[in-house]
Amino acid sequence: MRVAVVGGGIIGLAIGRELLLHGVDVTVYDPSPEGTDGAWHVAAGMLAPGGESAFEFPYLEPLLEASNELWPTYAERLGNVGYDDAGTLSVALTADDLAEARREWAHQKLTVLTGSQARDLEPALSPRVRAGAFAATERQVDPRKVVAALRRELAGRIVHRHVSDLSGIEGRVVVAAGCGTAALTGLPIRPVKGQVLRLRGEPGLLKHVIDGAADGRHVYLVPRADGEIVVGATQEERSDRAITAGGVHDLLRAALDLVPGLAEHEITEWTVGHRPGTPDNAPIIGALDDRVIVAAGHHRNGVLLAPITARLVAGLVLTGSADPLLEAFSPGRFGCA
Ligand SMILES: Cc1cc2nc3c(=O)[nH]c(=O)nc-3n(C[C@H](O)[C@H](O)[C@H](O)COP(=O)(O)OP(=O)(O)OC[C@H]3O[C@@H](n4cnc5c(N)ncnc54)[C@H](O)[C@@H]3O)c2cc1C
Protein backbone atom coordinates (compact mmCIF):
# COMPACT_ATOMS: atom_id res chain seq x y z
CA MET A 1 0.00 0.00 0.00
CA ARG A 2 1.23 3.54 -0.84
CA VAL A 3 0.36 6.53 1.36
CA ALA A 4 1.40 10.18 1.09
CA VAL A 5 1.68 12.21 4.30
CA VAL A 6 1.43 15.96 3.78
CA GLY A 7 3.37 17.77 6.52
CA GLY A 8 6.64 16.70 8.11
CA GLY A 9 6.12 18.17 11.57
CA ILE A 10 5.97 15.98 14.67
CA ILE A 11 2.51 14.60 13.83
CA GLY A 12 3.18 13.86 10.14
CA LEU A 13 6.54 12.23 10.88
CA ALA A 14 5.12 10.13 13.72
CA ILE A 15 2.35 8.90 11.39
CA GLY A 16 4.87 8.26 8.59
CA ARG A 17 7.05 6.17 10.90
CA GLU A 18 4.10 4.16 12.21
CA LEU A 19 2.93 3.37 8.66
CA LEU A 20 6.47 2.43 7.64
CA LEU A 21 6.70 0.03 10.59
CA HIS A 22 3.52 -1.62 9.23
CA GLY A 23 5.10 -2.13 5.82
CA VAL A 24 3.39 0.79 4.06
CA ASP A 25 5.25 2.54 1.23
CA VAL A 26 5.24 6.09 2.72
CA THR A 27 6.27 9.45 1.32
CA VAL A 28 6.24 12.56 3.53
CA TYR A 29 5.93 15.99 1.86
CA ASP A 30 7.26 19.10 3.60
CA PRO A 31 8.79 22.22 2.03
CA SER A 32 11.41 22.93 4.67
CA PRO A 33 14.62 20.80 4.45
CA GLU A 34 14.95 20.72 8.25
CA GLY A 35 11.20 21.08 8.77
CA THR A 36 11.85 23.93 11.21
CA ASP A 37 8.71 25.85 10.15
CA GLY A 38 6.60 23.68 12.42
CA ALA A 39 5.31 24.47 15.90
CA TRP A 40 7.38 21.53 17.22
CA HIS A 41 10.56 23.56 16.65
CA VAL A 42 9.68 26.04 19.40
CA ALA A 43 7.64 23.68 21.61
CA ALA A 44 8.91 22.98 25.12
CA GLY A 45 8.01 19.29 24.97
CA MET A 46 6.05 19.02 28.21
CA LEU A 47 4.04 15.81 28.41
CA ALA A 48 1.36 17.11 30.74
CA PRO A 49 -1.89 15.15 30.43
CA GLY A 50 -3.34 16.70 33.59
CA GLY A 51 -2.49 20.28 32.69
CA GLU A 52 -4.68 23.18 31.63
CA SER A 53 -6.03 21.41 28.53
CA ALA A 54 -7.58 18.52 30.45
CA PHE A 55 -9.06 21.04 32.87
CA GLU A 56 -10.66 23.10 30.10
CA PHE A 57 -11.62 20.23 27.78
CA PRO A 58 -12.45 17.12 29.88
CA TYR A 59 -13.24 14.95 26.84
CA LEU A 60 -9.60 15.31 25.74
CA GLU A 61 -8.38 13.59 28.90
CA PRO A 62 -8.63 9.94 27.71
CA LEU A 63 -6.61 10.76 24.57
CA LEU A 64 -3.97 12.70 26.55
CA GLU A 65 -3.69 9.92 29.13
CA ALA A 66 -3.47 7.18 26.48
CA SER A 67 -0.63 8.99 24.71
CA ASN A 68 1.19 9.72 27.97
CA GLU A 69 1.19 5.98 28.69
CA LEU A 70 2.79 5.28 25.32
CA TRP A 71 5.62 7.80 25.75
CA PRO A 72 8.12 5.82 27.90
CA THR A 73 8.35 2.97 25.37
CA TYR A 74 8.05 5.34 22.41
CA ALA A 75 10.98 7.44 23.66
CA GLU A 76 13.07 4.36 24.40
CA ARG A 77 12.61 3.09 20.84
CA LEU A 78 13.55 6.48 19.33
CA GLY A 79 16.82 6.66 21.31
CA ASN A 80 18.03 9.81 23.09
CA VAL A 81 15.15 12.27 22.78
CA GLY A 82 15.65 14.02 26.12
CA TYR A 83 12.99 11.95 27.88
CA ASP A 84 12.85 12.96 31.56
CA ASP A 85 10.27 11.80 34.09
CA ALA A 86 11.28 13.98 37.07
CA GLY A 87 7.75 15.47 37.18
CA THR A 88 6.30 18.98 37.22
CA LEU A 89 6.19 21.33 40.18
CA SER A 90 3.40 23.91 39.83
CA VAL A 91 3.90 27.02 41.92
CA ALA A 92 2.03 30.18 42.84
CA LEU A 93 3.62 33.45 43.93
CA THR A 94 0.75 35.55 45.28
CA ALA A 95 -2.55 34.87 47.04
CA ASP A 96 -4.41 35.56 43.77
CA ASP A 97 -2.11 33.18 41.85
CA LEU A 98 -2.78 30.54 44.51
CA ALA A 99 -6.55 31.00 44.38
CA GLU A 100 -6.47 30.41 40.61
CA ALA A 101 -4.04 27.47 40.83
CA ARG A 102 -6.07 25.71 43.55
CA ARG A 103 -8.92 25.01 41.08
CA GLU A 104 -6.56 23.26 38.66
CA TRP A 105 -4.70 21.39 41.41
CA ALA A 106 -8.00 20.17 42.85
CA HIS A 107 -9.04 18.93 39.40
CA GLN A 108 -5.76 17.03 39.14
CA LYS A 109 -6.18 15.74 42.73
CA LEU A 110 -2.75 17.10 43.69
CA THR A 111 -1.72 17.76 47.30
CA VAL A 112 -1.05 21.43 47.98
CA LEU A 113 2.45 22.07 49.35
CA THR A 114 3.54 25.06 51.41
CA GLY A 115 6.17 27.39 49.98
CA SER A 116 8.90 25.77 52.06
CA GLN A 117 7.81 22.25 51.02
CA ALA A 118 8.01 23.38 47.39
CA ARG A 119 11.51 24.81 48.04
CA ASP A 120 12.57 21.48 49.60
CA LEU A 121 11.83 19.91 46.21
CA GLU A 122 13.27 22.81 44.20
CA PRO A 123 15.74 24.93 46.23
CA ALA A 124 16.18 27.55 43.47
CA LEU A 125 12.59 28.80 43.95
CA SER A 126 12.18 32.30 45.34
CA PRO A 127 11.45 32.59 49.09
CA ARG A 128 8.36 34.58 47.95
CA VAL A 129 6.75 31.48 46.37
CA ARG A 130 3.64 30.91 48.47
CA ALA A 131 2.57 27.36 47.55
CA GLY A 132 3.05 24.52 45.10
CA ALA A 133 1.78 21.13 43.96
CA PHE A 134 3.77 18.25 42.50
CA ALA A 135 2.57 16.23 39.49
CA ALA A 136 4.72 13.09 39.49
CA THR A 137 3.32 11.62 36.25
CA GLU A 138 4.24 14.58 34.03
CA ARG A 139 7.29 14.23 31.83
CA GLN A 140 9.22 16.02 29.14
CA VAL A 141 11.01 15.29 25.87
CA ASP A 142 13.01 17.56 23.58
CA PRO A 143 10.82 17.92 20.46
CA ARG A 144 13.84 18.82 18.31
CA LYS A 145 15.47 15.50 19.24
CA VAL A 146 12.20 13.62 18.67
CA VAL A 147 11.82 15.11 15.18
CA ALA A 148 15.48 14.41 14.33
CA ALA A 149 15.00 10.76 15.37
CA LEU A 150 11.78 10.43 13.34
CA ARG A 151 13.46 12.02 10.30
CA ARG A 152 16.32 9.50 10.57
CA GLU A 153 13.84 6.61 10.55
CA LEU A 154 12.14 8.09 7.47
CA ALA A 155 15.41 8.80 5.63
CA GLY A 156 14.93 8.79 1.86
CA ARG A 157 11.14 9.14 2.20
CA ILE A 158 10.88 12.91 2.84
CA VAL A 159 10.27 15.03 -0.27
CA HIS A 160 10.90 18.80 0.06
CA ARG A 161 7.74 20.13 -1.51
CA HIS A 162 4.96 22.49 -0.47
CA VAL A 163 1.69 20.80 -1.41
CA SER A 164 -0.79 23.45 -2.51
CA ASP A 165 -3.54 21.15 -3.78
CA LEU A 166 -4.36 17.58 -2.74
CA SER A 167 -5.54 16.74 -6.25
CA GLY A 168 -1.88 16.80 -7.31
CA ILE A 169 -1.18 13.74 -5.16
CA GLU A 170 -2.24 10.25 -6.19
CA GLY A 171 -3.75 7.63 -3.90
CA ARG A 172 -4.34 7.77 -0.17
CA VAL A 173 -3.32 10.93 1.64
CA VAL A 174 -2.91 11.82 5.31
CA VAL A 175 -2.95 15.60 5.83
CA ALA A 176 -0.92 16.46 8.94
CA ALA A 177 0.24 19.95 8.04
CA GLY A 178 -0.44 21.76 11.34
CA CYS A 179 -1.71 25.28 10.61
CA GLY A 180 -1.21 24.59 6.86
CA THR A 181 -4.07 22.06 7.03
CA ALA A 182 -6.72 24.80 6.81
CA ALA A 183 -5.68 25.88 3.30
CA LEU A 184 -5.57 22.27 2.06
CA THR A 185 -8.85 21.02 3.54
CA GLY A 186 -11.00 24.01 4.48
CA LEU A 187 -11.05 22.79 8.09
CA PRO A 188 -11.28 25.51 10.75
CA ILE A 189 -7.70 25.49 12.05
CA ARG A 190 -6.20 28.78 13.23
CA PRO A 191 -2.70 29.80 14.34
CA VAL A 192 -2.26 30.58 18.04
CA LYS A 193 1.02 32.44 18.46
CA GLY A 194 3.50 31.53 21.18
CA GLN A 195 6.71 33.38 21.98
CA VAL A 196 9.42 31.28 23.67
CA LEU A 197 12.88 32.04 25.09
CA ARG A 198 15.77 29.69 25.59
CA LEU A 199 18.28 30.40 28.36
CA ARG A 200 21.54 28.67 29.16
CA GLY A 201 23.55 28.35 32.36
CA GLU A 202 25.18 25.81 34.63
CA PRO A 203 23.19 22.53 34.46
CA GLY A 204 21.32 21.56 37.61
CA LEU A 205 19.73 24.86 38.71
CA LEU A 206 16.28 23.25 38.30
CA LYS A 207 15.46 19.57 38.82
CA HIS A 208 11.83 19.59 37.65
CA VAL A 209 9.67 21.33 35.10
CA ILE A 210 8.30 24.44 36.84
CA ASP A 211 4.85 25.61 35.83
CA GLY A 212 3.94 28.77 37.64
CA ALA A 213 2.07 32.01 38.01
CA ALA A 214 3.59 35.21 39.33
CA ASP A 215 1.32 38.24 39.75
CA GLY A 216 -1.04 36.84 37.12
CA ARG A 217 1.75 36.15 34.59
CA HIS A 218 1.97 32.49 33.59
CA VAL A 219 5.25 30.85 32.69
CA TYR A 220 6.80 27.41 32.46
CA LEU A 221 10.47 26.59 32.82
CA VAL A 222 11.64 23.36 31.23
CA PRO A 223 15.22 22.40 32.20
CA ARG A 224 17.25 20.21 29.85
CA ALA A 225 20.14 18.05 31.02
CA ASP A 226 22.69 20.23 29.19
CA GLY A 227 21.83 23.46 31.06
CA GLU A 228 19.28 24.85 28.59
CA ILE A 229 16.05 26.15 30.12
CA VAL A 230 13.03 26.69 27.86
CA VAL A 231 10.90 29.62 29.05
CA GLY A 232 7.41 29.72 27.59
CA ALA A 233 5.07 30.76 26.34
CA THR A 234 2.75 33.55 25.34
CA GLN A 235 -0.64 32.58 23.96
CA GLU A 236 -1.92 35.09 21.41
CA GLU A 237 -4.68 34.88 18.81
CA ARG A 238 -2.34 36.17 16.09
CA SER A 239 -0.52 34.79 13.06
CA ASP A 240 2.49 37.16 12.88
CA ARG A 241 6.04 36.19 13.85
CA ALA A 242 7.01 39.31 15.82
CA ILE A 243 8.94 38.96 19.07
CA THR A 244 7.42 41.71 21.20
CA ALA A 245 8.75 43.72 24.13
CA GLY A 246 5.63 42.89 26.14
CA GLY A 247 5.83 39.16 25.42
CA VAL A 248 9.51 38.88 26.37
CA HIS A 249 9.01 41.11 29.42
CA ASP A 250 6.14 39.04 30.79
CA LEU A 251 8.00 35.74 30.34
CA LEU A 252 11.22 37.01 31.94
CA ARG A 253 9.47 38.90 34.72
CA ALA A 254 7.54 35.80 35.78
CA ALA A 255 10.59 33.52 35.35
CA LEU A 256 12.82 35.75 37.52
CA ASP A 257 10.10 36.31 40.12
CA LEU A 258 9.83 32.54 40.58
CA VAL A 259 13.53 31.59 40.12
CA PRO A 260 15.78 34.60 40.79
CA GLY A 261 18.94 32.61 39.96
CA LEU A 262 17.94 32.69 36.27
CA ALA A 263 19.15 36.31 36.14
CA GLU A 264 22.69 35.01 35.50
CA HIS A 265 21.62 32.82 32.57
CA GLU A 266 22.39 33.79 28.99
CA ILE A 267 19.49 34.30 26.55
CA THR A 268 20.44 32.05 23.64
CA GLU A 269 17.28 32.06 21.54
CA TRP A 270 13.92 33.80 21.10
CA THR A 271 11.46 32.21 18.77
CA VAL A 272 7.84 32.25 17.70
CA GLY A 273 5.63 29.30 16.78
CA HIS A 274 1.96 28.81 15.99
CA ARG A 275 -0.12 26.17 17.72
CA PRO A 276 -2.73 24.74 15.34
CA GLY A 277 -5.98 25.53 17.21
CA THR A 278 -9.52 24.43 16.36
CA PRO A 279 -12.88 25.94 17.44
CA ASP A 280 -12.93 23.64 20.51
CA ASN A 281 -9.10 23.44 20.70
CA ALA A 282 -9.17 19.64 20.45
CA PRO A 283 -7.50 17.87 17.49
CA ILE A 284 -9.24 16.81 14.29
CA ILE A 285 -8.40 13.18 13.51
CA GLY A 286 -10.40 11.13 11.02
CA ALA A 287 -11.43 10.53 7.43
CA LEU A 288 -12.52 13.49 5.30
CA ASP A 289 -13.57 11.15 2.47
CA ASP A 290 -12.57 7.73 1.05
CA ARG A 291 -9.11 9.00 0.08
CA VAL A 292 -8.13 11.70 2.58
CA ILE A 293 -7.49 11.37 6.31
CA VAL A 294 -6.70 14.39 8.45
CA ALA A 295 -4.66 14.59 11.68
CA ALA A 296 -4.22 18.21 12.74
CA GLY A 297 -5.27 20.89 15.21
CA HIS A 298 -3.32 19.47 18.17
CA HIS A 299 -3.00 22.98 19.64
CA ARG A 300 -1.01 22.90 22.92
CA ASN A 301 -0.55 19.12 23.06
CA GLY A 302 0.86 17.94 19.74
CA VAL A 303 4.09 16.61 21.23
CA LEU A 304 2.24 14.69 23.94
CA LEU A 305 -0.34 13.40 21.43
CA ALA A 306 2.09 12.32 18.68
CA PRO A 307 2.37 8.60 19.65
CA ILE A 308 -1.38 7.99 20.05
CA THR A 309 -2.23 10.01 16.93
CA ALA A 310 0.26 7.95 14.91
CA ARG A 311 -1.13 4.67 16.24
CA LEU A 312 -4.79 5.59 15.66
CA VAL A 313 -4.22 7.06 12.19
CA ALA A 314 -2.21 4.00 11.13
CA GLY A 315 -5.11 1.82 12.35
CA LEU A 316 -7.54 3.90 10.33
CA VAL A 317 -5.40 3.66 7.18
CA LEU A 318 -4.82 -0.08 7.52
CA THR A 319 -8.29 -1.25 8.63
CA GLY A 320 -10.56 1.51 7.31
CA SER A 321 -12.32 1.81 10.65
CA ALA A 322 -11.82 4.36 13.42
CA ASP A 323 -10.94 3.42 17.00
CA PRO A 324 -13.69 4.49 19.49
CA LEU A 325 -11.12 6.84 21.10
CA LEU A 326 -11.40 8.96 17.96
CA GLU A 327 -15.16 9.53 18.14
CA ALA A 328 -14.90 12.93 19.84
CA PHE A 329 -12.31 14.19 17.36
CA SER A 330 -13.84 13.56 13.93
CA PRO A 331 -13.81 16.29 11.26
CA GLY A 332 -17.58 15.76 11.14
CA ARG A 333 -18.10 17.74 14.35
CA PHE A 334 -17.42 20.88 12.30
CA GLY A 335 -19.61 19.67 9.44
CA CYS A 336 -16.60 18.90 7.25
CA ALA A 337 -16.65 15.12 6.62
C1 LIG B 1 5.10 27.97 21.96
C2 LIG B 1 4.62 26.56 21.85
C3 LIG B 1 4.86 25.68 22.90
C4 LIG B 1 4.37 24.36 22.82
N5 LIG B 1 4.64 23.51 23.86
C6 LIG B 1 4.15 22.23 23.80
C7 LIG B 1 4.43 21.32 24.84
O8 LIG B 1 5.13 21.64 25.81
N9 LIG B 1 3.89 20.06 24.76
C10 LIG B 1 3.12 19.68 23.71
O11 LIG B 1 2.64 18.53 23.69
N12 LIG B 1 2.88 20.52 22.66
C13 LIG B 1 3.37 21.79 22.70
N14 LIG B 1 3.11 22.66 21.68
C15 LIG B 1 2.19 22.24 20.61
C16 LIG B 1 2.88 21.45 19.53
O17 LIG B 1 4.09 22.06 19.15
C18 LIG B 1 1.93 21.33 18.32
O19 LIG B 1 0.68 20.87 18.74
C20 LIG B 1 2.53 20.34 17.31
O21 LIG B 1 3.78 20.81 16.86
C22 LIG B 1 1.59 20.13 16.15
O23 LIG B 1 2.24 19.23 15.28
P24 LIG B 1 1.97 19.23 13.71
O25 LIG B 1 2.92 18.28 13.11
O26 LIG B 1 0.50 19.05 13.50
O27 LIG B 1 2.27 20.74 13.25
P28 LIG B 1 3.68 21.43 13.14
O29 LIG B 1 4.60 21.00 14.21
O30 LIG B 1 3.37 22.90 13.07
O31 LIG B 1 4.25 20.94 11.71
C32 LIG B 1 3.51 21.19 10.55
C33 LIG B 1 4.40 20.86 9.35
O34 LIG B 1 3.60 20.88 8.17
C35 LIG B 1 4.33 21.51 7.14
N36 LIG B 1 3.38 22.05 6.17
C37 LIG B 1 2.48 23.04 6.36
N38 LIG B 1 1.78 23.26 5.24
C39 LIG B 1 2.24 22.37 4.31
C40 LIG B 1 1.89 22.10 2.95
N41 LIG B 1 0.93 22.77 2.32
N42 LIG B 1 2.60 21.13 2.29
C43 LIG B 1 3.56 20.42 2.92
N44 LIG B 1 3.92 20.64 4.22
C45 LIG B 1 3.26 21.59 4.90
C46 LIG B 1 5.15 22.58 7.85
O47 LIG B 1 6.31 22.94 7.07
C48 LIG B 1 5.52 21.87 9.15
O49 LIG B 1 6.76 21.19 9.04
C50 LIG B 1 3.63 23.95 21.69
C51 LIG B 1 3.47 24.82 20.62
C52 LIG B 1 3.94 26.12 20.69
C53 LIG B 1 3.76 27.05 19.52
**pLDDT (mean) for 36-44:** 92
170 and 195 housed in the same domain: no
Per-residue confidence band for 177, with pLDDT thresholds at 50, 70 and 90? very high
CA of 147 from ligand 1 middle (Å) equals: 11
pTM, to two decimals: 0.97
- Looking at the structure, tell me whether residues 30 and 177 fall in a common domain: yes
Q: Is 51 in the pocket of ligand 1 (CB under 6 A)?
A: no
For residue 35, the enclosing domain spans 2-79+141-189+279-334
Could you tell me the CATH number of the domain that includes residue 111?
3.30.9.10
Name the residue of 53, 303, 305, 329 whose CB sits within 8 Å of the most ligand 1 atoms, as the mutation to test its pocket: 303
Query: Do 203 and 113 share a structural domain?
Result: yes
Whether residues 284 and 273 share a domain: the answer is no
pLDDT at 54 > cutoff 70 = no
Q: Which of 44-53, 162-171, 293-302 has the highest mean pLDDT?
A: 293-302
Q: How confident is the model at residue 55 (pLDDT cuts 50, 70, 90)?
A: low
Report which ligand 1 atom has the smallest distance to the Cα of 12: 25
Give the separation between CA 36 and CA 17, rounded to whole angstroms.
18
In the chain, the number of structural domains is: 2
Q: What is the pLDDT of residues 84-138, one digit of tens each?
A: 999 999 999 999 999 999 998 998 899 999 999 999 999 999 999 999 999 999 9
Tell me, yes or no, whether 273 and 283 share the same domain: no
CA distance 100 to 104: 7
pLDDT of residue 58: 77
pLDDT at residue 336, as a whole number: 61
